[in-house]
Amino acid sequence: MRLIFAGTPEFARVALARLHAAGHEIVLVLSQPDRPAGRGMKLHASAVKQFALDQAIPVAQPRSLRLDGKYPDEAAAARAVIEAAQADAMVVAAYGLILPQWVLDAPRLGCFNIHASLLPRWRGAAPIHRAIEAGDLETGVTIMQMDAGLDTGDMLLVQKLPIDDQDSTATLHDKLAALGGQLMVQALELAGRGGLQPVRQPTEGITYAHKIEKHEAAIDWAQAAEPIVRRVRAFNPFPAASATLNGEILKIWAANVGPGIPPAGTEFGSILTVDPEGIAVAAMNSIVFITELQRPGGKRLRVADFLHGFALQPGMVFEARDSAAVALRT
């Protein structure tokens, strides 16, 4: 098929590469404008744009596709190249811009979205993070016929994937990205012979995966260990769960639910034991066992290496979440 592809991050690049390898003609790529990144805050192209340039695929990067919006000239220029592409379909994966109706109507077969959840659960911006944070046992990919709503279109293909106990957003992202590319290739094969059977999304079980905010990263030690550990996994790699000790914000990259419970009267966030295998911290009627962490400006380290440069001792106390969240905002 002649395809337009709209996407920005690595999740989308994996799907684009899979479609390209399957022999589809990618006639145009849409991606978010280059963003400043790194210590020098230099402009960097998205993963999708980089792949497109490597394959000599034309790229457009409008800041908006709304003809009546803030950037009407850019939207009008995008409309011209989209209509000139005469695409059979547009594939959308983590693009980051809302598609107005004129875009949805432009390709012959419309626009297909790769969504990393089992719709209607976790519509919205952060379905992988929120599934882990909520303790879901499974997730998956939904190929959806896009409409004007937020992830409300008819489902075309769905495939489930279990969430392992040790999955972080980083590891689950990679699994779902591979599955999304594979499923999109299957969907296009079916579409080419008229074999897709749209199914309306259920009206029950709808949840929204709201965008991850940095202030959510601060650990609330007054919670039980299990939800704390889920958040550590969910916020790896972004924004990384954090805990403040002696005024220093430490990123917590990996943790497990530890055995036993804290002694009666122990303050939440108190360090109970420290050894090369991990750091036991008191939570609500439970213990969080930290195994990987990072100081500001330092590297991610296993506890055994971390302790060489940071003298953690039993009896130290991580600050309460409210004060840590304020520090993160500033």
**pLDDT tens string 178-192:** 999 999 999 999 999
The model's confidence at residue 330, banded by pLDDT at 50, 70 and 90, is: very low
pLDDT number for residue 326 = 43
pLDDT at 300 over 70: yes
User: Which H/E stretch holds residue 117?
Assistant: none
Residue 329 has pLDDT above 70, yes or no: no
Q: Are 152 and 188 in contact (CB under 8 A)?
A: no
When pLDDT is cut at 50, 70 and 90, the band that residue 58 belongs to is very high
CB 107 within 8 A of CB 4: yes
Mean pLDDT of 210-229: 96
Cα 173 to Cα 10: distance, rounded to the nearest angstrom: 9
- Could you give all domains of the chain from N- to C-terminal order, each with its CATH number? 2-209 (3.40.50.170), 215-329 (3.10.25.10)
- 315 close to 269: Cβ distance less than 8 angstroms: no
For the stretch 191-196, contacts whose Cβ atoms lie closer than 8 Å and that sit 24 or more positions apart, written own/partner, are: 191/1, 191/89, 191/109, 191/112, 192/1, 196/156, 196/157
Phi, psi dihedrals of residue 188, rounded to the nearest 5°: -70, -35
Please report the pLDDT score of residue 328 as a whole number.
Answer: 39
Average pLDDT for residues 58-87, to the nearest whole number?
A: 97
pTM for the model stands at: 0.93
| Alpha-helical runs (H) found in 193-302 | 225-234
